[in-house]
Homo-oligomer: A and B are copies of this chain.
């Protein structure tokens, strides 16, 4: 149980006073490492994906024309299913408030609310797309702890580089405002640069090398400036990549797997050329082991 990341559960703590059926429900719904819990999670993820797929297909005209009622009943079916699941979750945890206020508790609620809102406000059902976030639970099946470890390494590197990335985004922000304004003056409204905000939009499209082509410079001077912006964008992409690669390299370097283990104090992570333990000072290679 030690290796299991309890904090990911909405309410990891389980108390002695619960009824038998609560304990039984709790294990099925929250404990992924049991056979029943794994089956529940797999079924849940299938239901979530099916519900998102239903929502997406219901917006395609050629499908909605034929199967509109099907989609209607399917969506309400999923909503009732998820409502039942939400109530069962509330029922089997000890401290309901903790679960209801946790990240997953809120997402679980948001995943059913829009259907009921739709009864009053037309279009609210599109918010059901938030259900896609629920499949973050998929990591609980895929040998959770390993993926959480990897995600942690990525997060740590992103966290360590957040200031550098903010400086970078800030520079990009100033750059697109200035470049967009210059292009508005150079190209003008007759070539599609209808306003400064539209020109700034063009600058973002160009600097990020997306390049839709819905707005494109047509005067020689505009094309020359645009070429400069493109080459800048081409070079600037090196900055976040370099930042992240350097930070991740350091994070991974610190997490380097144990090379030598001290036979005395069992501390790991000694350098390859270490002879004495860096914590207790005892010989890492006792005569009898070599």
Is A241 among interface residues, defined by CB-CB distance under 8 A?
Answer: yes
Q: List 5 A-B contacts (CB under 8 A).
A: A55-B196, A151-B167, A154-B168, A266-B273, A281-B281
- Give, as a whole number of angstroms, the nearest-CB distance from A98 to chain B: 25
> Does the CB pair B185–A166 fall under 8 Å?
no
Contacts of A77 in B (CB 8 A): none
Residue A12 lies at the interface, judged by CB distance under 8 Å to chain B: no
State whether the Cβ of A46 lies closer than 8 Å to any Cβ in chain B. Answer: no
Known: A129-B196, A212-B212. 5 other contacts (CB 8 A): A60-B195, A150-B163, A238-B243, A265-B275, A266-B273
Whether the Cβ atoms of B281 and A276 lie closer than 8 Å is yes
Chain A residues numbered 106-162 whose CB sits less than 8 Å from any CB in chain B? 123, 126, 129-130, 132-133, 135-136, 138, 146-147, 150-151, 153-154, 157
Inside 8 A of A271's CB, which chain B residues have their CB?
Answer: 269, 271, 278
Contact in complex: A230, B208 (CB < 8 Å): yes
Known A132-B177, A147-B163, A184-B59; judge A242-B252 contact (CB<8 A). Answer: no
- B interface footprint on A162-198 (CB within 8 Å = 1, 0 otherwise): 0111111110101001100100110000000011111
A166 touches B147 (CB 8 A): yes
- Which residues of B lie under 8 Å from residue A278 when comparing CB positions? 270-271, 273-278
Residues of A whose CB lies within 8 Å of any CB of B are 52, 55-57, 59-61, 123, 126, 129-130, 132-133, 135-136, 138, 146-147, 150-151, 153-154, 157, 163-170, 172, 174, 177-178, 181, 184-185, 194-198, 200-201, 204-214, 216, 220, 223-224, 226-227, 230-231, 233-235, 237-250, 252, 265-283
